[in-house]
Amino acid sequence: MKRQLILEDGTIFKGNGFGSETGVIGEVVFNTGMTGYQEILSDPSYCGQIVTLTYPLVGNYGINRDDFESITPAFSAFVVKEVADFPSNWRSKWSLDEYLKMKNIPGIAGVDTRKLTKIIRQHGTLKGAICSVDENPLEIMERMRATKLRSDQVKQVSTKSAYASPGRGNRIVLVDFGMKHGILRELNERNCDVIVVPYHTTAEEILALCPDGIMLSNGPGDPKDVPEAIEMIRGILGKVPMFGICLGHQLFALACGADTAKMKFGHRGSNHPVKDLKTGKVAITSQNHGYTVEEDSISGTELEVTHVALNDQTIEGLAHKTASAFTVQYHPEASPGPEDANPLFDEFISLVEKAKQGDANYAKA
């Protein structure tokens, strides 16, 4: 089945369809990871996006039962050079093609994805459409121009109701803005008693759960589209230790008075170096974000920059000067990508422990 990818600048890539044959319009982004397509396709942060993978062979090890980061993929489409028709790995259950067909998500293969990546790099993230080659590109471009990309992605991917993932340890309320399962997994591994709540849960509702710590998850889109979360964070800040990841980090920055902005083409991949300004050490991190906290908006807030991206010096980590709260732009839960930053979860837990200790001392005194 011949398909085409049409970009808003008029570039057309022809290729072979795989997965479903539906037509989609979305923002086209690239990810440079060489492994991890299963985690990428199930990462809710890609909600509504057409994702191209720069590594040319996709689907080599198939799709397995375990490595999903959400139950239902929220991304729009895959654009690849080659899709494996014969995956090989002991855990493989489906081929990528079979899986995407099951989930009604289209893909296009046979694309010069390096050319596409360079266009995105030079032009910045842009809109694209995947459709049959029989469609008229001019009409499609017209439709693309007319389409306003949705801004309620968080609502779409966040859990509809709260649920518990019980444990015997610290109670963590995990606010789901489009949470990757990896975050929940890391908390569970640390015996946390996790309650996952929808994105619009209020500070009062959360505090009523008597949490020892608050975890702000990753999620799709522009943080400014989720004002209710910003409100919630303000309501909790200083009361309970807080840790934010990705969108959670951006929302936290906004709540503290800093500003965010859209990046030209974002950071998406498994090889992003981040420098810890305290230790001077660099961690190779997994990233997926199209927005960033603006550096010059930090002054005058109660925030300090703890981590920066080595390559473009953008902010990768923040801590509150007085409240017990820190956030990172990247993904310590990895999945996919390197696990260098995994100890951040331990840091969070010790922050939680310390706060509890402090409360106990306070109670005693």
Give the binding-site size for another protein (rule: CB under 8 A): 52
Does the footprint of another protein cover residue 87 (CB under 8 A)? yes
Helix (H, G, I), strand (E, B) or coil at 51: strand
**Nearer to another protein by C-beta: 81 or 155?**
81
CB of 88 to another protein, least distance (A): 4
86 binds another protein, rule: CB under 8 A:
yes
Burial of 209 (0-12, 13-18, 19+ CB in 10 A): middle
Give the residue, chosen from 95, 176, 336, 352, that forms a contact with another protein under the rule CB under 8 A. Answer: 336
Question: What Å distances lie between residue 42 and 7, 51, 65, 77, CA to CA?
Answer: 24, 12, 12, 12
Which region among 84-92, 141-149, 246-254, 317-325 touches another protein (by CB under 8 A)? 84-92
Kindly state the tokens that stand for 123: 């032009």
Strand partners of residue 175 = 197, 216
Which residues touch 126 (CB under 8 Å, ≥6 apart)? 7, 8, 9, 27, 28, 119, 120
Q: Which of 252, 233, 60, 226 is nearest to 157 (CA)?
A: 226
CB 75 within 8 A of CB 48: yes
**CB-wise, 42 or 327, nearer to another protein?**
42
Cα 344 to chain center, whole Å?
17
The angle that helices 247-255 and 227-236 make with each other, rounded to 10 degrees, is 70
Q: Min. distance of Cβ 114 from another protein in angstroms?
A: 5
Site for another protein contains 39 (CB under 8 A)? yes
- Of 195-203, 224-232, 256-264, 277-285, the segment contacting another protein by CB under 8 A is 277-285
The nearer residue to another protein, 114 or 321, going by C-beta atoms, is 114
Under rule CB under 8 A, residue 56 binds another protein = yes
Binding status of residue 98 toward another protein by CB under 8 A: no
**For residues 69 and 39, what is the distance between their CA atoms, to the nearest angstrom?**
6
Interactions with another protein, residue window 57-76 (CB under 8 A): 57, 60-61, 64, 66-67
From residue 172, alpha-carbon distances to 169, 190, 217 in Å are 9, 11, 12
Q: Is 337 in the site for another protein (CB under 8 A)?
A: yes
* Residue 247 labelled as part of a binding site: yes
CA distance 5 to 133: 9
Give the active site residues.
Answer: 246, 331, 333
Half-sphere exposure of 309 (CA within 13 A, CB side): 23
Which one among 17, 19, 26, 36 touches another protein, defined by CB under 8 A? Answer: 36
Which residues are annotated as part of the binding site for L-glutamine?
A: 45, 219, 221, 247, 250, 288, 290-291
Which residues are part of a known binding site? Answer: 45, 219, 221, 247, 250, 288, 290-291
Q: Name the site residues for another protein (rule: CB under 8 A).
A: 13, 30, 32-36, 38-39, 54-57, 60-61, 64, 66-67, 81-82, 84, 86-91, 112-115, 117-118, 121, 269-273, 275, 280-282, 284, 310-311, 334-339
